[in-house]
Structure 1
Amino acid sequence: MDEKTYTKLSAEEERVIVHKGTEAPFSGKYNDFFEKGSYHCKRCNARLYSSGDKFASSCGWPSFDDEIKGAIRRQKDVDGRRTEILCANCGAHLGHVFEGEELTEKNIRYCTNSISLIFVPNRKEPHIAKAYFAGGCFWGVEHLFEHKDGVISAISGYMGGSVGNPSYQDVSYGNTGHLEVVEVAYDVGKVSYENLVKFFFEIHDPTQADGQGPDIGEHYLSAIFFNNEDEKMTAHKLIDILKNKAYKVVTRVLPASTFWKAEEYHQNYYDNNKKKPYCHVYEKKF
């Protein structure tokens, strides 16, 4: 980004954003601030966080337990211990990220200086909802959903088991009860939940009972995790339509539980490795 297009910073803003300073705790305007909207980079206006991911951590700085996908860059801090977070678009210093504190279910805290942010009220932010699908290896499901119109992000993870914050190794051993699940964040104004469920059925084989393609195992089974009764009814309605078309659907419809994000090397796997899905392909069924 051309530096001439950056927002002009005050001396204090430059101290924090450019020279990696820190504002005093409990002094920032967004520390105790919970209006609905989104938080953008003060220097380049790139969208960084959604208000739905902000939480009260009592640490003295605005805290978030998630980011807009791809908005934050991490690097080792000069102190050699902490992990610094920066705007991925312009490199502005934001603060630090901490994991393992168990302050929220996502178990992560993006500790950000208020002075590095600018808040945009909700009226300028799309209505975002989340849906959860399991259809074999999450690499392929994530990849295809990420390229669907109306989808904001797709994240690989785990759901449905009895172990908190499982690792890939835990899940692949098949003794946790988790399935490989993709969390799909979507703009309700651009795509409906029903359309997403149809797409899910059309990018995997909902009739395979032991996994998906060559991937065999309990964590590869087909399932839809619903957030409410409307989603549950929509899933069953579409399954009935497929059964009337002679598809022997084995997809389970289950209540959503805690979604545990998978390790970073699983995210955007096909795009990062310049590969194509090996057992997921679109086939029109509706």
Structure 2
Amino acid sequence: MKPLTPEEERVIVGKGTEAPFSGKFYTHREDGTYCCRRCGAPLYRSEDKFDAGCGWPSFDDEIPGAIRREPDADGRRTEILCAACGGHLGHVFSGEGFTPKNVRHCVNSISLDFIPATKSEKRAAAEIRRDTAYFAGGCFWGVEYMLKKLKGVESVRSGYMGGMTVDPTYEQVCSHTTGHAETVEVVFDPTQVSYETVAKRFFEIHDPTQADGQGPDLGDQYRSEVFYTSPEQKAVAEDLIRRLEAKGYDVVTRVTPASRFYPAEEYHQNYYERKGSTPYCHTYTKRF
């Protein structure tokens, strides 16, 4: 992590807001990549920046997987954070009609660094080739094992999402007091496999009609849930559920915004590969 000034700390860590029209990137138009001031992760491309007249840098798209969304405590706005380090960036709004994408990421300049195109092309291209998805569907050992087999998936990591407890342990999640679900983080190359294909596979490796459980594993931590990171992912998940329902499936899968992902303990990662065994409650069933 890079050292921060007191003002950077106030905004990035303390979730503050810089004064409108004061940021160095508000009218900035150079070609390149906007990165997280704290950790350096690429966040936005210059071609997605536009002038909304609001006093802060505005973007109508993000580098896939770079941004995490969390509802504000008052439920009125959606906060955007760096997915890599959790640094506060600003807020995201939709339906304003500024651009055809109809989305505005309103970002504090102080939360950003900038790499001119001549230095950022290779780095930005590497990031653009990756996207991230989050799914919960029973024991994460089985979901991880099955999704890793899909061509274009680069990595799958087991963890926890959807609850309120910070840095939960496996024992806490199993106590049904955290609200978290056993979740997998899927990093994939969208030039090789689409989010729709990954989501289809998710619906075909677990039973989306079983509530709070999967096979013999019962409890709210084993619920079926899609955690979306963008409006596009939400639309795809909801469309797939409608298609399953049209086929007669009574789908109970929830579709909710992704929140902070907490990686599970190391002994949960690559469980079946390390044990040399196969899942006991996850199998492939063609549904589409």
> Does the TM-score normalized on the shorter chain lie above 0.5?
yes
Larger gyration radius, structure 1 or structure 2 = 1
What TM-score does the superposition give when structure 2 sets the normalisation length? 0.59
Q: Distance in 1 between matches of 2:130 and 2:35?
A: 12
Q: Distance in 2 between matches of 1:199 and 1:212?
A: 16
The aligned residue for residue 192 of structure 2 is 190
Local SS of the residue matching 1:209: coil
Post-superposition offset of 1:261: 0.3
The aligned residue for residue 222 of structure 2 is 220
Stretches of structure 2 lacking an aligned partner (at least 5 in a row): 4-32, 42-83, 88-119
In structure 2, relative to structure 1, the CA distance for the partners of 1:274 and 1:238 (3 Å cut) is same
Whether contact under 8 Å (2:212, 2:221) holds in the other structure is no
Q: Distance in 2 between matches of 1:234 and 1:104?
A: 27
Q: Which residue, out of 136, 139, 152, partners 2:138?
A: 136
In structure 2, relative to structure 1, the CA distance for the partners of 1:153 and 1:245 (3 Å cut) is same
Q: Deviations over 1:112-168 (max 9, x none)?
A: xxxxxxx99236636101000000000000011111100000000000100111000
Q: Deviations over 1:13-70 (max 9, x none)?
A: xxxxxxxxxxxxx9xxxxxxxxxxxxxxxxxxxxxxxx9998747xxxxx99xxxxxx
The aligned residue for residue 202 of structure 1 is 204
Q: Distance in 2 between matches of 1:230 and 1:162?
A: 25
Q: Which amino acid aligns with 1:122?
A: R
Matched, 1:146 2:148: yes
Q: Distance in 1 between matches of 2:269 and 2:138?
A: 15
Q: Distance in 2 between matches of 1:173 and 1:143?
A: 24
Q: Deviations over 1:92-121 (max 9, x none)?
A: xxxxxxxxxxx9459xxxxxxxxxxxx992
Matched residues, number: 183
Q: Which amino acid aligns with 1:163?
A: T
Q: Distance in 2 between matches of 1:120 and 1:265?
A: 37
Q: Distance in 2 between matches of 1:157 and 1:269?
A: 12
Q: Distance in 2 between matches of 1:248 and 1:120?
A: 46
Q: Which amino acid aligns with 2:172?
A: D
Matched, 1:122 2:157: no
Post-superposition offset of 1:193: 0.7
Stretches of structure 1 lacking an aligned partner (at least 5 in a row): 1-25, 27-50, 58-62, 65-102, 107-118
The aligned residue for residue 72 of structure 1 is none
Q: Distance in 2 between matches of 1:237 and 1:270?
A: 32
Q: Which amino acid aligns with 1:138?
A: F
